[in-house]
Structure formats: C-alpha cells, structure tokens
Structure 1
Amino acid sequence: MFNALEYIGFTSPRAGEWNEYGPEVLGLQVAPDEGDGVVRLRMDDSAYRISVEEGTVDNLDHLGWSVGGPREFEAAIAELESKGISVVRESAELAAKRCVADLASFTDPFGWRQELHWGLALRQGTFQPGRPMSGFVTAEQGVGHVALAVPDLAIAEAFYVDLLGFRLSDEIRAMGQAIRFYHCNSRHHSLALVPIPGMTGVAHLMLEARSLDDVGTALDAAQRRGDLLVSLGRHCNDHMVSFYTDTPSGVQIEYGWGAIESDPTTKANMIDRGDIWGHHPTGDAWPAPGILRPVDTEEMHA
C-alpha cells in the first residue's frame, strides 16, 4: 500500500536543542523557522524529513507514509475504510504544515498516529548539510527506518502486514528476543517491530549516510558530546555499518552506511545473532528504548 516512510514527527520539551544537535551530529540542515514551535530538519531536497515540536513530554507524534499520487491516495483511503480502519481526511492547513499535497490520518492498535499522504514538497538543489558530508540515502527509500516497540507481535503484524501490506524481510533471534523487519520498497526494512511485553514506544530511527566517512565523522561528533550509546558495528541482517546515539529528546538514532536492499523474490530469513561485529553498548547493558509507555493488551484483544 505504502511507498515509503517519508517523514517522522516528535514532541519534546527540548525541541530547540535539535537546532544544534541535528547539524552538528547528524549533518542535517535546519529548515527555516516557521514561528510555530517546530524544529524541522532536512536531509535532502524535500521540505523536511524530521520534525520536533515543542511539547511537555518526549514522544512520537506521527509517522508519515506516502503513496504514488492522488488516485493512489483515494484508493488507499477506500481500502483502509473497507478493512474497518477509521480514516480522517485532514485539513488543507495541516497538509500545508506537513508540506504535502493531501493528507489523511489513522491510528495503529497501540495509539500511534499514522499519516497517509501524496506529494511531499521538493525544493530542488536547496539541501545544504549541517556539516561537510556526502548526503543521505533517501529518494524512493524515504527517510530511513523506524523500530517500534510493541506489546503484542501478533496484533502488530495483523495491522502492519495483513492490513497495510508490509512484507517481512527477516527475523533476528538474539538476546532473548525475536525482532522482525519489514519492507515496503527497496530499503531492506522501513519498519522493525520489537516485542516488549506491556509496553510500546520507539526503539530508534535509522538514517543512512552515503559514505562510511560520513558515519565516522558523526561518530566523532557523538563521542565529543557524550551522546554515544552503542559502538560502531555491522548488523547481520541488513549489513548496515552503524552506531547508535542519544538525542535531546530521548529517541535513539541509528546512523549508518552500506545496507543491502530488499529483494521481493528472496524469502525471509531467520538469523540467530544480531551483529557480524561490534555494536557494543557504551554502558553496562544495551540501552533501553528512550520513548516507552505502558499499554493494556487486554483492551486490544477485547
């Protein structure tokens, strides 16, 4: 159903700190201030990819998924409604705030707001990274991938796979967990689901740079600031060379390079270890997801 995860929005009482963190560590460009309390960050010629709105708590506010055009937009709404999903057609004012042509929204079983749109605004030739770097892998692959903590994997898959059409890339069974990864385009995965009983939240957001040197430069910046959570390493499933860093808003960023792409003709694999090498926590244990909240799974089953 969806083409890509095109944008993601957070709320945070420390939203303003992203004006420094985004360019200095991640190499993102801060978009012009609209005077609405939202920090918007660019990683290509799109109007923006990440937004952080001033709020009372650190939280995921919305995920922005694209379809091909106005006909696909209408078809997606009709399909969702036919499957019993309540869809809200959002105002032109909110669509303009998101910098898209048309916008609709619905929620997943755990309360996370999903936004459906077409026509993410492009401003050709205007992206200027926040520090010298070669740029990011975006285009048809979107912003990157998001890893969501879910209390019930079966409920999550019934929604994201059966209703929304995500396709399983593979599963990693390691450290007592079974984490599943799903694709909707050529990116190895745009979505990962991390089962955590009784909790839901955001495990991390992944951004993919165009060169290994870009990753090394970001790693140095994260270390200087004391934000490094997990050392450089290479994952077994997507072969991404990456590290994990904290942000002013608690959500983790996986910052990497070199991932393999998904292949619709290849069957999903089960992999019994997380990493080929590296990815060692800088503290005593692997850091927990920074944005978590309890959820009542009995209400979802009712």
Structure 2
Amino acid sequence: MIRELAYIGVASPRHEEWLTYGTEVLGCGLGPRGGDGAVRLRVDDAVHRITIRPGDRDELLYTGWAFTNEAELAAYLERLRLAGVDVTPGTVDECRDRGVAELAWVTDPWGMRHEFVSGQHRRPGTFWPGRPLSGFVADDFGLGHVVLIVPDLAEANAFYGDILGFTLSDRVDEELMKVRFYHCNGRHHSLAVAQVPGKVGFNHLMLEVNSLDDVGTGLDLAKRAGAPVLRGLGRHTNDLMTSFYMLTPSSFQIEYGFGGIVVDDLTWVASTNDRPSLWGHELTEAGRTTAPGILHDAERVTA
C-alpha cells in the first residue's frame, strides 16, 4: 500500500518568488533547478519534494505517492488495473524529473493527477534548512499532507478510500465545512478532501516542523515578508496540530504546524468532529477575502 506523500508539483507564473519564500519564510532547502526553470525545495534528505514550475496560471500539476519498493508498487498498480482504473506508465524523463526510479499515474474522477512511485532519490546527510530551523517532520512520514477540494465527498471517498486504499482517520462535519481525512502511515493524515459543490482544486499543503518555536518564528517571518496570514494560530481537534495558515505566491495555502499526533491502526478509531479547531485558527481579513486555494469548476472525467 501507499507509504507516504513523496512530493507535489505546481505550476505558477510567480515561481521565482519561491526562491526566497520557500527558504526564508518556510525554511526549506533549495534543490537543483529543473530544466524548465522550476524551483525545487527540500525538507529532508530526499533530493526534492516541492516543485514550482513556470506556468501561465496557478495549477496543481500532480501529487506523488511513494511505495516501500518496486514489488509493492507493481502489485498495487495491478490491483488498480483489475479495478478498472486507467494506469499510465511514467516516462524515463518523468522519472528523472521527479527523482524516482519508477513511476505510474492515474487521474481522479475530476482530472487531478496522482503519481505512484518507488525509489525516491535521497542524499543522506545533505539537508540544510534555508533559515535557522530545528527541521521538518518528514523522512518516514513523507512531505506532510495535502488538502484537495472536491465537489462530492461520497464519490471522493469511493475513489480515494475504496479504490486507492487510503485509510479514513476521521471527519469534520459542520454546516460550512465537510472534510474527510486519510492516512497511509503514522501521520494522522497525508490526504484530506474538502467538499465545495461545483469546484475542484488544491486548498493547502501542510508542513510540520520540530518545535513550536519554529511555528512562531515562521509566523513572524510570514508577516515580515508580506505573506498574507489567512488563519491565525490555533490547534486542530483531530490531529492536535498547533498551526497557522498563510497564502503562498501561487494561490494555495501552507499550513505551518507542530505537534501532530501519530496514529496506530491497531487502536485508532475514526470519529466525527463538529468543529475543526479546539481553539484559534480564526479567519483574518485576508482569509475572509481570499479564495480557498487553487480552484476551478468541476468537470467529471474518467479515472
């Protein structure tokens, strides 16, 4: 089964701004530039995990999901094919670009691309943060988590849970926010899907750091750099993450947090929360006037 969120790729006309935003605010390390001029960022010894490519508009291009080895990847892809999912092998150039040994991809019912990989390239002992930072919670837990926007939670659960095999962690169910959270390792969730009728998109990427002081410093640096803070400091009900949300140069958000719980499938029971936060996470004025990520109108396609 899927082991972790390995990487994400986004297109943006403001990709160059990530050279400073990604390092001086987020504290990521710089990876090698892509052949197309892409900015690549590191959070651990993986060669890169965040890629921001040049593009005419902000767009989520792909998410990458890693497997322990090529045998597990091959077995998983065969199971998808037997379930009637159209699986496309990756090219040699795509593998080289993503920094992996093997790659195949599928699309969800609304056209969002998910890549399944093995053999992610690593350079042990080489990660160095872009600013003073105790480090990121990555490595065995992967990059962090992504929250995708979908028009229908039931259909999304049928695809991500029943077909792709993500395990439900829990739900948030309130009048204006309906979200399902899924895990594939000990991180409370590596994937979440939020329902926005008629829309598809990418809400946020969560990066978890090793200390609460790193979160506070990140908040100060975001304000100093003019990165709009969309939700103030708060703590979530489900994963107990203490975090804030800021707008990136490319329309999606970063949740920057500390202290997420680790789940154990032997004892974990999925629950339903009627509110997303124990305290805080209040919308700022920028949060009230900013779209919730990269959005476009939903158009169903064949997965």
Q: Number of residue pairs matched?
A: 300
* Per-residue deviation, 1:284: 6.9
- Extract unaligned runs of 5+ from structure 2: none
* Per-residue deviation, 1:175: 4.6
Which residue in the other structure is 1:278 paired with? 280
- 1:135, 1:10 → 2: CA distance? 23
- 1:49, 1:209 → 2: CA distance? 15
Q: Cα gap change, 1:57/1:284 in structure 2, threshold over 3 Å: closer, same or farther?
A: closer
Q: State the one-letter code of the partner of 1:273.
A: R
- 1:29, 1:140 → 2: CA distance? 18
- Could you tell me the TM-score, scaled by structure 1's length? 0.96
Which residue in the other structure is 2:230 paired with? 229
Q: Cα gap change, 1:119/1:235 in structure 2, threshold over 3 Å: closer, same or farther?
A: same
- 1:130, 1:214 → 2: CA distance? 13
- Partner SS for 1:149: strand
Q: State the one-letter code of the partner of 1:208.
A: E
- Partner SS for 1:165: coil
Which residue in the other structure is 2:197 paired with? 197
**Per-residue Cα deviation, 1:239-295 (whole angstroms, up to 9, x for no partner):** 000000111101100000001112212211111111111111111754432200001
- 1:253, 1:170 → 2: CA distance? 21
Q: State the one-letter code of the partner of 1:231.
A: G
Which residue in the other structure is 1:259 paired with? 260
Which residue in the other structure is 1:76 paired with? 76
Which residue in the other structure is 2:20 paired with? 20
Q: Are 2:159 and 1:151 aligned?
A: no
* Per-residue deviation, 1:4: 0.7
Q: Are 2:108 and 1:105 aligned?
A: no
Which residue in the other structure is 2:299 paired with? 296
> Is the 2:9–2:60 contact (alpha carbons within 8 Å) kept by the matching residues of 1?
yes
- Partner SS for 2:222: helix
- Partner SS for 1:114: strand
Which residue in the other structure is 1:243 paired with? 244
- 2:40, 2:188 → 1: CA distance? 26
- 1:196, 1:165 → 2: CA distance? 23
* Per-residue deviation, 1:89: 1.1
**Per-residue Cα deviation, 1:77-118 (whole angstroms, up to 9, x for no partner):** 111111111111111221011100111111111101110110
Q: Cα gap change, 1:189/1:216 in structure 2, threshold over 3 Å: closer, same or farther?
A: same
- 1:74, 1:52 → 2: CA distance? 28
> Is the 2:231–2:287 contact (alpha carbons within 8 Å) kept by the matching residues of 1?
no
Question: What percentage of aligned pairs have identical amino acids?
Answer: 50
**Per-residue Cα deviation, 1:104-149 (whole angstroms, up to 9, x for no partner):** 1111111011101101111011111000001100122100000011
> Is the 2:34–2:97 contact (alpha carbons within 8 Å) kept by the matching residues of 1?
no
Q: State the one-letter code of the partner of 1:270.
A: T
- Extract unaligned runs of 5+ from structure 1: none
- 1:95, 1:300 → 2: CA distance? 24
> Is the 2:252–2:293 contact (alpha carbons within 8 Å) kept by the matching residues of 1?
yes
What value does the CA root-mean-square deviation take over the aligned residues? 1.5
- 1:64, 1:300 → 2: CA distance? 20
Q: Are 2:118 and 1:118 aligned?
A: yes
- 1:39, 1:171 → 2: CA distance? 34
Which residue in the other structure is 1:181 paired with? 181
- 1:99, 1:3 → 2: CA distance? 17
- Partner SS for 2:285: coil
> Is the 2:148–2:201 contact (alpha carbons within 8 Å) kept by the matching residues of 1?
yes
- Partner SS for 1:77: helix
* Per-residue deviation, 1:226: 2.7
